[in-house]
Amino acid sequence: MGAGGISLDELLRYFKEYETWIYIILGVWGLWQLRKFVMGWEELRGSAFGMERDLAQLRLNQAATQLILVLIMATAEFFLVSFVVPSVPDASPLPTSTLNLLATPTSAMTALAPGAEQTPVETVEPVELSTSEGCVADRVFITQPKNGDQVSGVVTLRGTASIPDFGFYKYEIARPGDTVWLSINAGEKPVQADILGDWVTDVLDPGDYLLRLVVVDNQGIALPACVIQVRVVEETNQ
């Protein structure tokens, strides 16, 4: 795809996100053309001369063509949203929540000499990420790496991505506190306590990262993501 072009995933995502508006526009257009069709039919029935009948027939044919076009477009939209979008992993907009990883401030008092004014000092307590956040052992679960692990090089992800009416799964990363997630890889077949895929960490800056597994059904609905936190470290040469 050239610069400035639209990818297939972006086009399908557009049809999914604006599905309601597309149907509304097509509905208004269809009603307008139906009105023109009825008017053309009545005009054709009331025409007495050849040229007048020809013009009425032309307007009737134009309205009928527009109605058929509206029907085709509505059918195409329904087919894309119902069957094509769920089969393309990156085309489904996923409504996923963002974990609140902000530290909780607490006040602490320092010991001062008698008579001295006490000034509250704000300290920050880190919030630990719970491994149970969105993780369901027999449906959406990451078994390797584990929450709090240090990883480097090429990491093999293991776990489970298996739900009724399975569509696809994908795993993503983000820095703690970020709201933008980077997709690493995706799979179109269910996985039960097995390999989900690989994660190349060499290209990342060392530090803490959130790793989440998202499983989506064939209707494009995502279950709550299983999220863990790991630390990427530089790979040591043996």
The percent of residues in the chain predicted with pLDDT above 90, rounded, is: 35
Angle between helices 19-46 and 50-79 (to 10 degrees): 160
Q: At 145, which amino acid appears?
A: P
Residue 101: the pLDDT is 40
Looking at domain 128-232, its CATH architecture is Sandwich (2.60)
> Is 152 in contact with 201 (CB distance < 8 Å)?
yes
Would you call the peptide bond into 126 cis, given omega within 30 degrees of 0 as the criterion? no
Say which residues have a Cβ less than 8 Å from residue 118's Cβ, sequence separation at least 6. 109, 110, 112
Q: Kindly report, residue by residue over 124-178, the tens digit of the pLDDT.
A: 343 444 444 678 888 999 999 999 999 999 999 999 999 998 999 999 999 999 8
- Confidence check: pLDDT of 112 > 90: no
Q: Rounded CA gap, 162 and 67, in Å? A: 43
Distance separating alpha carbons of residues 161 and 180, to the nearest angstrom: 22
Residue with tokens 């029907």: 71
Scanning the structure block, which residue is given the tokens 């509905």? Answer: 27
The whole-number pLDDT of residue 78 equals 85
Q: What is the reported pTM?
A: 0.47
Pairing of strands 150-151, 226-232: parallel
Segment holding 62, helix H or strand E: helix 50-79
What is the mean predicted confidence (pLDDT) over 17-27?
A: 88
